[in-house]
Structure 1
Amino acid sequence: MMLSLFDQFMSPWLLGIPLIALALALPWTLLPTPSTRWLNNRLLTLQGWFINRFTQQLLQPMSLGGHKWALLLTSLMLYLITLNMLGLLPYTFTPTTQLSLNIGFAVPLWLATVVIGMRNQPTVALGHLLPEGTPTPLIPILIIIETISLFIRPLALGVRLTANLTAGHLLIQLIATAAFVLLPLMPTVALLTATLLFLLTLLEVAVAMIQAYVFVLLLSLYLQENV
C-alpha cells in the first residue's frame, strides 16, 4: 500500500501511547541546567548569553508592564526552537507541524494580551479598531475590518508556523526520494541532488529557528499594543 507524503505528519503511536506526548516532554530534558558555581562550561555560558540577548531585544521596546512576560516568552522561544530542531532529525516527529498544537499555543497567549489591554487601558485597546483621522462614511467598514483582523491574529500565528515547517519537511522528503531513485540511474545527477538536499537542510535549520523567533516576536508586538 502506497503511503502519502503527508503521513509523516501524523502523530505516531506505540503500544497504544501517542508519541506526541514524549516529543513535547523531551526538549526540556535536553536543555542544560544552570549550576550554582561561579564559572560555568561553554554550553551554559552560550545559553545564558543567548537568553540575555534575546530577552533584552524582545523587551526593550515595551513598557515596564510587559516585562512580566519575560520568563514566559523566553521559555516559549527556547521550547519552540528545540521542538523545531529535533523534528529535523531522522525518525523523529515534529509536533509543531500540527495546526492544532500551534493554535493551542497561539490562542491563549493572544487572548491574554487582549484581556490585559481591555482590563488596563480599554480606551486605548478599543482605539486600535479605528485609525485616527478616518472619514466618517468609512468608520463602520474600518471597525469591522479591524475587528476581523484582530481575531485572525491567532490563526495567522498558528498557520504560519505550521505551513513553513510542513513545506520544508515535504521538500526534504521529495528531494531525498529523488536522490535515492536517481543514484543507480544517474549518479552525477544524484550527487547534485544530494548537495541540494544538504543546502536545503541548512536552510531548514535556519527556518526552524527563525519561525520560533517570529512566533514569539509577534506575540510581543501584540502585547506591546496592550500594555
Structure 2
Amino acid sequence: MTLSFFDQFASPTLFGIPLIAMALALPWILFPSPSSRWLNNRLSNLQGWFINRFTQQLLLPLNLGGHKWAVLFTSLMIFLITINTLGLLPYTFTPTTQLSMNLGFAVPLWLATVIVGLRTQPTHALGHLLPEGTPTPLIPVLIIIETISLFIRPLALGVRLTANLTAGHLLIQLIATAAMVLLPLMPMVAILTATLLFLLTLLEIAVAMIQAYVFVLLLSLYLQENV
C-alpha cells in the first residue's frame, strides 16, 4: 500500500488516543535539570553557556521593561529548537508542522506584546498606525494598511515556521523515495541522490534551528516596539 507524502504530518494516535501531547512533553525530558553542586558536568555547562549567550543577544536591544520576558523567550527558543530537530529523526512526528499549534504560540504572544504597549505607552503604540508627516488625504488609507499589517504579524509568524518545516520534510521524503527507487535500476545515480539527501538533511538541521531563532527574534522585535 502506497502512503501519501502528507501522512507524515498527521498527528499520531495509539488506540484512538492522540499522541501529540507526548510529542510536546518529550523535549523537556532530554535536558538535564540544574543541580545544587558547585561543579556541573559538561552538558550542563554547555547548556548554561548557550542559554546565557542567547539571552544576552536577544535582550540587547530591549530596555529593562522587556527583560521580564527573558525566561519566556529562552524557554520557547529551546522548546522549538528541540521539537524541530527531533522531528528530523526517522519515525518521529514534528508538532511544529501543524499550523494550528504554531498559531497557538504566535497569536497569544503577539497579542501580549500589543496589550503591553497599549498599557504602558498607548500614544506611542497607536502612533505606529500613522507615520509622521503623512499627507491628510492618505491618513485613512494608511491607518487601514497599518492595521492590516499589524494583524497579519501572528499569521506570518505561524505560516513561516510551518511552511519552512513542511517544505523541508517533503523534500527529504521525495529525495529519499527517489534514491530507493533508483537503487536497483541506476546505482550510481542513487548514490548521487543519497549524497544530495545527506546534504539536504544537514541543511534542514540548520533550518530547524534558524526558524526557531527567527520566531523568537521577531517576537522580541514586536515587544521592542511596545516597551
TM-score normalised by the chain length of structure 1:
0.99
Which amino acid in 1 is paired with 2:52? N
Which amino acid in 2 is paired with 1:145? I
Long gaps (5+) in structure 2: none
2:25 maps to which residue?
Answer: 25
Q: Count residues in correspondence.
A: 227
2:112 maps to which residue?
Answer: 112
Once the two structures are superposed, residues 87-136 of structure 1 have per-residue CA deviations (whole angstroms, 9 ceiling, x without a partner) of 00000000000000000000000000000000110000000001111111
Give secondary structure in 2 for the equivalent of 1:161: helix
1:79 aligns with 2:79: yes
Which amino acid in 1 is paired with 2:170? L
Shift of 1:215: 0.2
1:103 maps to which residue?
Answer: 103
Aligned partners of 1:28 and 1:133: how far apart in 2?
50
1:190 maps to which residue?
Answer: 190
Shift of 1:2: 3.5
Aligned partners of 1:2 and 1:32: how far apart in 2?
41
TM-score normalised by the chain length of structure 2:
0.99
Which amino acid in 2 is paired with 1:52? N
Once the two structures are superposed, residues 29-77 of structure 1 have per-residue CA deviations (whole angstroms, 9 ceiling, x without a partner) of 0111121111111111111111000000000110100000000000000
Long gaps (5+) in structure 1: none
Aligned partners of 2:202 and 2:163: how far apart in 1?
18
Aligned partners of 1:2 and 1:142: how far apart in 2?
52
1:174 aligns with 2:174: yes
1:53 maps to which residue?
Answer: 53
Aligned partners of 1:43 and 1:190: how far apart in 2?
38
1:206 aligns with 2:186: no
1:92 maps to which residue?
Answer: 92
Which amino acid in 1 is paired with 2:190? A
Once the two structures are superposed, residues 15-40 of structure 1 have per-residue CA deviations (whole angstroms, 9 ceiling, x without a partner) of 12111111001001011112111111
- Please show how residues 96-175 of structure 1 align to structure 2 within 5 Å: 96-175=96-175
Give secondary structure in 2 for the equivalent of 1:226: coil
Shift of 1:85: 0.6
Aligned partners of 1:187 and 1:58: how far apart in 2?
48
Aligned partners of 1:179 and 1:19: how far apart in 2?
31
Moved over 3 A (4+): none
Greater shift, 135-144 or 174-183, is seen at 135-144
Once the two structures are superposed, residues 158-203 of structure 1 have per-residue CA deviations (whole angstroms, 9 ceiling, x without a partner) of 0000000000000000000000000000000000000000000000
1:36 maps to which residue?
Answer: 36
Greater shift, 28-37 or 98-107, is seen at 28-37
Aligned partners of 1:23 and 1:49: how far apart in 2?
26
Shift of 1:3: 2.4
Greater shift, 95-104 or 25-34, is seen at 25-34
1:226 maps to which residue?
Answer: 226
**CA RMSD of superposed structures (Å):** 0.7
Aligned partners of 1:36 and 1:103: how far apart in 2?
38
Aligned partners of 1:185 and 1:44: how far apart in 2?
49
